[in-house]
Amino acid sequence: MISLRYGDNKVISIDGNVVKMRRSYVQTAAGSTIAAEVKIELQNNETIWLTPADGSGVFSKNWLGVLMSAKRGVVVSEMRPLICMPAK
């Protein structure tokens, strides 16, 4: 599980590593069963995609998603599933 600290634009991993957010935004797709998804681009060139776990479309308690890491020289990404919640 990772935690988000939007106040100071940081993501905290389960092992306590802190990475700054480069930018984040909400995307919606017309006709999608997923109301909205959040894309967070990190300073270390990884990307987090999140969708609300409860289908509400707003930032509630837990969100589900994936952490994508681009591999060098190839058009391949490593994807790791994750659960995300606001930092306390």
Quote the pTM value.
0.70
Higher-confidence position of 68 and 59: 68
Every domain of the chain and the residues it spans = 2-86
Contact by Cβ (8 Å): 72, 61: no
Q: Where residue 77 falls among pLDDT bands split at 50, 70, 90? A: low
Contact of 53 with 63, CB cutoff 8 Å: yes
> Which residues are CB-contacts of 85 (< 8 A; sequence separation ≥ 6)?
1, 3, 4, 61, 62, 63
Q: What is the reported pLDDT for 33?
A: 57
The Cα 56–Cα 77 span in angstroms is 29
Q: How far apart, in whole angstroms, are the C-alpha atoms of residue 44 and residue 47?
A: 9
User: pLDDT tens for residues 16-61?
Assistant: 899 999 988 877 766 665 567 788 899 988 888 887 766 555 556 6
Give me 66's structure tokens. Answer: 């994936």
